[in-house]
Amino acid sequence: SCKYSHDVISAENKKVLKAHGLSALDENELRVLLLQNDPFFLPEVCQFYNGSKDACRQQNNCNNLHICRHFLRGQCRFLPCKKSHNLLDTHSLRVLETGGIDVNIASNIQAIYYHKHVELHKELKMGIRYKNKPTENLMKNPAVIRSREPRIPFQTVGTTLHVPPSEAVLFIQSSHAGPSSNVPDHSQDQLATETGKKDDSSAKTSSDETSSAETPSVKTLKEDKEDNCDEICLFYVWKYCKHRDKCKLVHYHLPYRWQVYNGVSWSDLSRMEEIEKDYCDPKMSSTADKTIDFQTMTLAGSAVRRLSTPSSVTNPTFVLTTQWIWYWKNDQGQWIEYGEQGEGDSGNSPSSAVIENLYLADPDATVPFQAGLHDYNLSFKEMTQTNTSYKTQRQVCRRPKFVSAEDVQKIKKGQRDSSIPNQACPTHWDPSALPDLGYKAVEISNTTSEYNEIKQLFHQTMKSYNVLKIKRIQNPSLWKVFQWQKDHMKRENGGNKVNEKFLFYGTNSSFMETICIHNFDWRICGSNGSNYGYGIYFARDASYSHAYCQPEVKTYIMFVARVLVGDYVKGSAAYVRPPTKSIHGLQFYDSCVDNELNPSIFVVFEKNQIYPEYIVEYKE
């Protein structure tokens, strides 16, 4: 018997957790955090695999991990590295499971270490920019380092925590600090910027109060922001950014910006719109005049870059995001958009939106999918599509949808895409709480039928719990997108009514704000795998979702979402979208379930099929 305690949440450990603000985490989450911060808890790494000859004689029979040891320490400086960084391959999973680490925890650890690896290389790059300051100095100044995109850990079957490490810290901090209420409309990168606020405020000089003149250090930081940041502020290009010069993103009047590096700094290129139009055409490997090479991103030997607004799949309710389109090249040399019902293999391939989500989750991943009777592997790293049977390869490319300066002005003046109808908000919504952007949470009176309907649905499986309040989420932007999706599904269903359900979703209260603003984001679930597909998991029974709720001072919150489940089929862990309904492969199921005859778990792959309608606050 071991002389040391194996009780993670013993009385003594609880004191330590409370002192560090981690008392709200359950045992499974703590295990993931321990594994994240100390690779000692993982099975031993194979020293022969990590040797100079990069070979282990036992190969797959080896009982140690064939993983780059520097990757597990968060110290691998190679990009790309010759050694494996994949804890989810067959050999690694076998070794991990032998050591008591199941596939769900392994998925979490993979996401965490991968994120550490990406962050390390960001810091190394910035270390060069900041006169080769050591990485640890940069880490002491988090105002310099910006998290690109906050994500929400979503419930999946059989696991709980799904957050990369720096984001986990963000969410742990925000769960104690409380959601921000002073910047509700500036929602992109909200959690990241909230965490950075303390550093920004502490870094301010008295000149902010006494003089409008900028100090050299402020100017340097602004120049560094322009040089290092590659994302354009959505709020500035749309109308107005309240952060002004303190905004961590680039302010520009178009959703794209082409620049060339002159050896000292980046400067704008002329003919911006012409360059963008050429780049959006997948047939063009360079500008029409051959001056800019899109393959090498160079202009007469000098580096060229394209700044951009965030991808449309990350902010579906925002205008002027960048819609990325994915293409494959057929035998005739034509570029065919994925998901288009065209000739050959593209008839039932994943759509550009599905592929874009997978790409953003892991830009180095290889994604399997089925088209017709064939199976393919889509490699983001190599930008190729390979037929797994015949080993034939096709080129793949990712290009944005062209938006002219005139289009931008029309969008800003309200001449929106006519394909998205202006759906009116429900008549029972509070008309005084309808924001142009974001949401308002309206508490429902316990004397209304609306309140009683949700309460009864909740109490069907949660009779021993008391409902404290029910809030209605009023987000006009999300509602319009949801209604558009509903109309679209109805048309595809021959005009018949779409199967719609109220379903439950349990989570931590610290994630409530982001869900209400951006809707549920499936990519965290997808990157970690799941039993019924890469999607967002909802439950018929509140008791099931309760397992994913974490109390805050003995009070729980749970979402009740309106979900367009449509026609469903039993899911599979390999699904990145629902399977086809027919042999022609032109129609797809709308969602997946655990049991077709009596479904209790529903998996949705498109966030537009969901509206986060209610939040139930309750306690034992």
**Quick check: is 416 in a domain?**
no
Which residues touch 222 (CB under 8 Å, ≥6 apart)? 214, 245
- Same domain? 603 vs 494: yes
Same domain? 530 vs 612 = yes
What spatial distance separates the first Cα and last Cα of the chain, rounded to whole Å?
Answer: 38
| H/E element, 137 | helix 135-139
- Residue 229's pLDDT is 75
Other Cβ atoms less than 10 A from the Cβ of 585: the count is: 17
Asked if residue 23 lies in contact with residue 17, where contact means CB atoms within 8 angstroms, the answer is yes
462 plus 546 within the same structural domain: yes
- Shared-domain flag, residues 500 and 549: yes
Q: What is the CATH number of the domain that holds 346?
A: 3.30.720.50
With respect to residue 147, please indicate whether it lies within any of the assigned structural domains: no
Is 497 contained in some domain? yes
CATH number at residue 545: 3.90.228.10
Q: What is the pLDDT of residue 585?
A: 62
Distances (CA, A) of 515 to 475, 505, 507, 511: 11, 11, 10, 7
Residues 476 and 603 in one domain: yes
Indicate the SS3 state at residue 120. helix
Q: Which helix (H) or strand (E) segment is 497 a member of? A: none
Scanning 38-82, the segments in alpha helix (DSSP H) are 69-72
Evaluate whether residue 60 is within a structural domain. Answer: yes
pTM, rounded to two decimals: 0.43
User: What does R_g of the chain's alpha carbons equal in angstroms?
Assistant: 25
Q: Which of 400, 430, 456 is the last residue of a domain?
A: 400
Closest CA to 407 of 236, 237, 187: 237
Mention every residue, 6+ apart, whose C-beta is less than 8 A from residue 419: none
**Segments of the chain scoring below 50 in pLDDT:** 128-221, 342-347, 415-422, 525-529
Do residue 458 and residue 576 come from a single domain?
A: yes
Q: Is 331 helix (H, G, I), strand (E, B) or coil?
A: coil
Instruction: Report how far residue 603's alpha carbon sits from residue 139's, in angstroms, rounded to the nearest whole number.
Output: 39
Place of tokens 């060339």: 260
Query: Does residue 129 sit within a domain?
Result: no
Query: Is there a single domain that holds both residue 607 and residue 462?
Result: yes
- φ/ψ (deg, to 5) at 158: 85, 10
Q: Which residues of 201-213 are buried (b: 16+ CB within 10 A; e: fewer)?
A: eeeeeeeeeeeee
Give, for 35, the enclosing helix (H) or strand (E). Answer: helix 27-37
Q: What's the length of the chain? A: 620
> Are 535 and 463 contained in the same domain?
yes
Residue-wise pLDDT for 431-478, tens only, equals 888 887 889 999 999 989 899 999 999 999 999 999 999 999 999 889
Structure tokens at 299: 């202009």
Query: What angle in degrees, to the nearest 10, is found between the helix axes of 27-37 and 165-177?
Result: 130
Dihedral sign computed on CA atoms, order 233, 234, 239, 240: negative
**Is 107 in a helix, a strand, or coil?**
helix
Within a domain: residue 459? yes
Judge whether 607 lies within some domain: yes
What three-state secondary structure class fits 245? Answer: helix
User: Looking at the structure, do residues 457 and 587 belong to the same domain, yes or no?
Assistant: yes
Domain boundary among 120, 148, 176: 120
Q: Is 190 helix (H, G, I), strand (E, B) or coil?
A: helix
Measured CA to CA, the distance from residue 482 to residue 497 in angstroms comes to 15
Domain end marker among 77, 99, 120: 120
Q: Which amino acid is at 309?
A: T
Residue type, 356: E
> What is the total count of domains within the chain?
4
Answer yes or no: do 52 and 77 share one domain. yes
Same domain assignment for residues 392 and 448:
no
Cα distance between residue 84 and residue 589, in whole Å: 36
Q: Is residue 262 part of a domain?
A: yes
Of 242, 150, 159, 142, the closest CA to residue 201 belongs to: 142
Q: How many helices (H) and strands (E) does the chain have?
A: 19, 20
Q: What one-letter code names the amino acid at 615?
A: I
Q: Give the Å distances, CA to CA, from 101 to 5, 44, 159, 455.
A: 19, 13, 12, 39
Contacts of 443 (CB under 8 A, 6+ apart): 469, 470, 471, 472
For residue 548, the model assigns a pLDDT of 84
Q: Domain limits at 455?
A: 440-619
pLDDT of residue 27: 73
Same domain, 293 and 331: no
